[in-house]
Amino acid sequence: MIKVVIVDDEPKLRQGLQTLIPWESLGFTVTATAANGKEALEVIQEKSPDVVIVDIRMPVMDGLQLIEHLRSDGHHLHFMILSGYADFEYAKQAIKYGVCGYLLKPVDIGEMSASLKQIRERIEEERLQREWRKKEVINRDLYLHSLLVSQEKTEDPTKLRSKAIEADLLWPHYEVVIVYPRVSEVDRSDVAYQLSNGLKATIEGQMMGLVTVIPPYTVLLLNEPLRGRQRRETLYNEIRNAADKVRFAAATGGGVTAPEDICKSFLKAQEAVKRSFFSEKNRLLDPYPFFSPSLASPGLSVDKAEETMEEFIFRLYYSLEVGNQNVILPLLNEVAAFFLQQGQDEKSIKESFFFLSNAIIHKLTAGFCIELKETEEVSRFLNGIYQHDHLDDLLEETYRFLLALAKDSEPRGKEQEFKKMIDFIHKHYADNLRLEALAGLLNYSTAYLGQLFKNKTGEYFNTYLDRVRIHKAKELLDQGMKVYEVAESVGYTSVNYFYSKFKRYEGCSPSEYRNP
């Protein structure tokens, strides 16, 4: 049934039209009436009719004002005008608003029924046209999808070309651009369709190509290659405007000239999007990356990779501990380069940075209780590692957070640095401490730091470290620990070597010290 709203300020006329016109037999149903234009606006908004029968002269808002208001708001309605003889010239103005009929009062039932039949035929024709257009769009999308995802090497190019002709897609050039919404998996498909609707006006409206959706991507099939930086930037900005505040990655698969190669451009665009984590921000990505994890050198063994990771943790932690901020970001870049050389993908790199950051945080916060607020910040940072869209952002945020968390990270001259180094030795005597490593962390040459240490303490670095270890060993022996346990606890991997060191500094063996 076609829905009708009657708008007239005369109650008798409204009632008469409802009862005298054979609405149902004509294919219509009266869903509501209104006494003036303003009242009609609310009714039309609620009932969404197909036809509005409206009087010309009414209080508050007349018929022409109502029609003008509805047209300007984008309502596609069919209007029938009612007026008296005196309003004939006035009613002619309604022609510019596309009214379907004009009847004089008093209304003739036969004349009005004939006009309604004409309106019904027009509405049915429009509905049929919409259905055909809808089917055309669906069919076109089916053909387009078959061209995009066709991966059968044996498929006849002639058959693919026939598909392109049927879908009116036989163009001289093609280039596929895809947009990947960086939202939750649950929302990704809906957002892809929203992006598609937002981009249709630009791409299809300007005859640049077609827009469709192959979840999780919004897909643009352009009919000209994207030559030049300016065209790429313009298209990227159009995508950004359509996306509004939604984070996304966009990539091109490069230009092709044959319908059977459209699928190749689509695949290359997908590969480029998958590498977006390693690419520059805020630009349309190319199918030819400056670096890809798949091009990395063969990975190290598990043991060697773990050893290298421990070394990075050691260097980063020691640098933060002694306040050498200048080496932190270069070290993080070195870490990222190592992960890339090992062929790690986005997910693996984020997991590795989580492990590395967590280990350093535990070392930095060991020995003192951090407040709840700081605990929440640590948790937020660690969880946020997985939310970064680009490696550069991940490195920058890791750098910022570690510096903020490190205690006394600002260097205060050589005396302060030397004091930190002494404190560091007393805290980490059990580690594999080397003068060369400390010199690198403090940006000194090994020879200079060794001489500075000798001048300040009166002993060489290794001698000082041995004395700290032996002093701690005596405490542990006094507590009843076994000799081999003590040796390992204070940093000696060889028990025999520990024996010789202990006897050298104490004049007796560890056993003799414990049992005089």
Is 292's pLDDT higher than 80?
no
pLDDT of 410 higher than 60: no
Q: What share of the chain is helix, strand, coil (3-state, %, to 5)?
A: 60, 10, 25
Model confidence band, residue 409 (pLDDT cutoffs 50, 70, 90): very low
Query: Taking residues 300-314, what's their average pLDDT?
Result: 78
Q: Bigger pLDDT: 199 or 417?
A: 199
List Cα–Cα distances, 111 to 107, 118, 307, in angstroms.
8, 11, 94
| Three-state DSSP class for residue 193 | helix
pLDDT at 150: 63
Please name which of 321, 323, 326, 346 lies closest in space to residue 336, comparing C-alpha atoms.
346
> What confidence tens digit (pLDDT) does each residue in 39-49 have?
999 999 999 99
DSSP designation for 228: S
Per DSSP, the three-state class of 138 is helix
Label residue 270 by pLDDT band (50, 70, 90).
very high
How far apart, in whole angstroms, are the C-alpha atoms of residue 295 and residue 315?
28
CA dihedral 292, 296, 301, 305 (to 10 degrees): -60
How high is the mean pLDDT of the chain? 84
Query: Cα(89)–Cα(91) distance, rounded to whole angstroms?
Result: 5
Query: Predicted confidence band at 247 (pLDDT cuts at 50, 70, 90)?
Result: very high
Counting other chains too, the contacts that 292-300 makes at CB distance below 8 Å and 24 or more residues apart are: 293/340, 293/343, 293/344, 293/345, 294/343, 296/340, 296/341, 296/342, 296/343, 297/341, 297/343, 299/342, 299/343, 300/342
The answer to whether residues 212 and 144 touch, using CB atoms and an 8 Å cutoff, is yes
For residue 278, count other CB atoms closer than 10 A to its CB.
Answer: 19
What DSSP state is assigned to residue 285? B
Q: Report the predicted TM-score, pTM, of the whole model to 2 decimal places.
A: 0.54
The answer on pLDDT for 299 being more than 60 is no
> Between these two residues, 132 and 43, which has the higher pLDDT value?
43
pLDDT of amino acid 98: 67
* Residue among 463, 456, 410 nearest 433 (CA): 463
pLDDT tens-place string over residues 422-478: 888 888 888 888 888 888 777 778 887 888 788 778 888 999 899 899 999 998 988
Q: How far is it, in rounded angstroms, from Cα 446 to Cα 448? A: 6
Neighbours of 280 (CB within 10 A): 11
